[in-house]
Chain A
Amino acid sequence: MWTRKAVVYVGLGTTLVLFSPFIDNLQLFLLGTTILGFVAVHSLVNTRPIDVKITRDFDAEQVFENSPVTVDLIIQNKGRSVGFLEIYDNLPSEVEVDSGSNHTIIRLQKEELVINKYHLNCRLRGQFRLGNPSLRIYNPSFLFYYEADVESKSSLVVLPQMEQIDGVDLSTDFPKMYQGAMPIRRIGTSGEFYGIREYSPGDDFKNINWRVFGRTRKLMVNQFEREDISDIMLVLDAREITGTGTVLQNPLNYSCRAIASLVSYFLRARNRVGLTIYGETVKVINPDTGERHLYSILTALAEVKAKGALGLHTILGDLRNFTPRSPVMVVSTLENDSTSTEALREITARGFKLTIIAPDTLNYDRDSRIISPTVYFTASASLDNKITEARSLGARAMRWDPETVLSTSLAEVIR
């Protein structure tokens, strides 16, 4: 391909060669000839086809939000030497380069291998496809260039960020014992020692730790682990409206983080956790345990997109198969869902221990002028009404400001 400079040079050279005879000017004539000659010579420099292979290597193919990923772009020359090779690694807009650069200009000798290392910061969950790196070869004086894409696609899964939840009792009042009790790291009445605390009136004398009393002259009682497990169903609202806000700051992203944190917490306590996602369709991941199950849920969360307008009532059918009286946690703003009241009533009527977490990004949206103050007040009042309504049905409901720690907010509602 010709650059604008080459076109100007050829135009100028030809004009000078044709015009100079009219004023009998050998100087301009020779200049025109030289410029044409210069372009002709340069058409042979660094313009022949090249054979470059590019591969991408990540230090981890699955990462969590806001985690760094190191990318090695391995450039291998299998053809002639290249003087000016510009490489641009096409990245999705959701990931940003933290250090190093995905754009490089190098000189490649025959059979040379060059590794361009750079670090990405993945600020948004999702399953991303890194496109083909683009190549551009210029000849040294920028007269000709050649552009091509090298086949090298890779995928990168960014899982939602998880928050450590501790000290919040989200377990059921009806532990499921039939699968066999197992100790979990929570205070209870099993034989496994958990810790000690100061004596308070009413504590059983047999739990007093006399050895500590002998040492410290303070009455301390032993605490033991509690044994229970339960099925927990988490419900994620992925309707189109949950995508309102910016790419990074929207209710769906915060909901996914909350779900990921809760799933991790419950699975660590050896509960069986299921997930129902509704929006465009209803997707159900049946309750299960273990690390593998955690990653299958996290992967599902990474893929969730704000789409559709199905109401909360669409999940009721799937809840029928779920263990009665178990905890159900709905993470939703409940905005623009006319079926939510009826659905919440039915969930509580079936005896499920319902908790509602409503991620509230309205303040951010108003401050960023995504919504007007009028819309803010309307939406805020509507959300308050929904929360009050849910509480009147016996559910534990909260407006969660994503800027605050989830476990702190949960502790307040569970109190």
Chain B
Amino acid sequence: MRTIRSLSFMQAIATFSLMTCLGLAYVINPIEDSLFFKAINTMVEGIYQKEVFSELNNSIVAGMLLGLFTGTSYIFLSMNKKIYDYFLLFIFVSTLLIFISSFRGYDSFPYHVTQQLFLWFWIGIPITVGMVGIWQNSIGNQVISAFLILVMPIGLVGNTNDQIYPILGFVFSFVLYLELSYGHTRYSRLARVMYFSKEFETVLQWFLTTLVLTLALTTALTSMAFLFHDFLGSILPDSFSNSIEFNTIYGQALSVLVFFMIWAVLQTLFSRGYLARQVED
């Protein structure tokens, strides 16, 4: 029973992380700057021949809540194939009717409400897809959801160190979402194979404990990788460390890559396997 509780806990935390990282992604990149929504806006404008998005409410919270509702509905509906099929048919017919009435110009139809719902649906779609991934153990959905979270809010404006806290929150919750959702998929399958035994419960507890510890260590390592940039700046010649290239994000990227390359070389040299191979040779 404890195994089932732990697995449910993982799902709940993963769902919470999913919502947090999507919310923070829009805090870091405002929806107005999002290339994805700009593209949708252009398409919708082409169809309706008027600015539709500007008249609508682009609340991220509303979109996330709608995504949560849609995802939950989908999961519950999937439990019964018949109801699921009827529901899909209903959605399809409704969508078709909305478009037909839109083109035929039936004014009595509440277009504004449906368009608003469509916009919120698009905002919340990573949550819908991600929830299905978490609660139905679909790795494909998890990957698509993670991809949408990264891609949908991105704009060309960029962001700087001023937004470091929301960025750190996003990174932490994003990695937590990935790890817990993927971990749940693998561990729940293994739990079924192991008949939810007590022995397996200890393995699961070990995973959760180690995940927390490694995330903490990762944060420390990421900070070290960042500090390594300053360290490089102090040991490199002034002409290099004072250059524009070195002091932009390009320089930081190169420093980080150098840091991880040194890490990889040191780990290879000092790992027992490597030493053992050298002795055998």
- Residues of chain A touching chain B, judged by Cβ–Cβ distance below 8 Å, are 5, 14, 17-18, 20-21, 23-38, 40-46, 48-49, 83-84, 101, 103-107, 114, 140-142
Contact = CB atoms under 8 A, between A and B. Distances in A.
B256 A17 contact: yes
Given A23-B156, A105-B203, A141 B170 contact: no
Nearest to B203: A107
B44 interface: no
Given A26-B160, A29-B252, A104-B194, A83 B221 contact: no
Interface string B216-232: 01110110011000000
Given A27-B167, A29-B249, A83-B210, A48 B272 contact: yes
A32 B174 CA distance: 11
B98 interface: no
Nearest to A43: B267
15 contacts: A23-B154, A24-B158, A24-B249, A25-B158, A26-B159, A26-B161, A27-B170, A29-B253, A29-B256, A31-B150, A33-B226, A38-B218, A40-B263, A41-B221, A107-B203
Given A20-B249, A83-B210, A84-B203, A35 B267 contact: no
B137 to A, nearest CB: 14
Contacts of B48: none
Given A31-B175, A43-B267, A104-B194, 6 more contacts: A29-B249, A31-B171, A31-B174, A34-B219, A45-B214, A107-B206
Interface residues of B, number: 57
Contacts of A21: 248-250, 252-253
Interface of B: 25, 28-29, 150, 154, 156, 158-161, 163-164, 167-168, 170-172, 174-175, 179, 182-183, 186, 190, 193-195, 199-200, 202-203, 206-207, 210-211, 214-215, 217-219, 221-222, 225-226, 248-250, 252-253, 256-257, 260, 263-264, 267, 272-273
A40 B214 contact: no
Contacts, number: 141
A83 B250 CA distance: 39
B225 A33 contact: yes
B249 to A, nearest CB: 4
B267 to A, nearest CB: 6
Contacts of B183: 140-142
B225 A107 contact: no
A100 to B, nearest CB: 10
Contact of B210 (A24, A25, A34, A140): A140
Contacts of B225: 33, 36-37
A30 B167 contact: yes
B218 A34 contact: yes
Nearest to B263: A40
B199 A104 contact: yes
Given A25-B158, A31-B171, A41-B221, A49 B272 contact: yes
A84 B207 CA distance: 9
Contacts of A106: 199-200, 202-203
Q: Closest 7 interchain pairs by CB?
A: A24-B158, A37-B221, A140-B210, A107-B202, A140-B207, A83-B206, A21-B249
Contacts of A30: 167-168, 171, 222
Contacts of B256: 17, 29, 32-33, 36
Nearest to A38: B218
B199 A140 contact: no
A325 B13 CA distance: 85
A300 B189 CA distance: 44
A14 B29 CA distance: 22
A30 B207 CA distance: 25
Centre residue among B218, B221, B226, B257 by max chain A CB count within 10 A: B218
Centre residue among A17, A25, A29, A103 by max chain B CB count within 10 A: A25
A233 to B, nearest CB: 52
B214 A26 contact: no
A114 B199 CA distance: 10
A24 B263 CA distance: 26
A101 B217 CA distance: 37
B168 to A, nearest CB: 7
Given A24-B158, A25-B159, A140-B211, A49 B273 contact: yes
Given A26-B161, A27-B167, A142-B182, A38 B202 contact: no
A360 B264 CA distance: 68
A25 B155 CA distance: 9
A83 B202 CA distance: 9
A108 B175 CA distance: 28
Nearest to B221: A37
A48 B273 CA distance: 8
A31 B218 CA distance: 11
Contacts of B161: 26
Contact of A41 (B158, B170, B218): B218
A20 B159 CA distance: 10
Nearest to B202: A107
Nearest to A139: B210
B79 to A, nearest CB: 28
Given A45-B210, A105-B190, A107-B203, A18 B217 contact: no
Contact of A17 (B182, B190, B257): B257
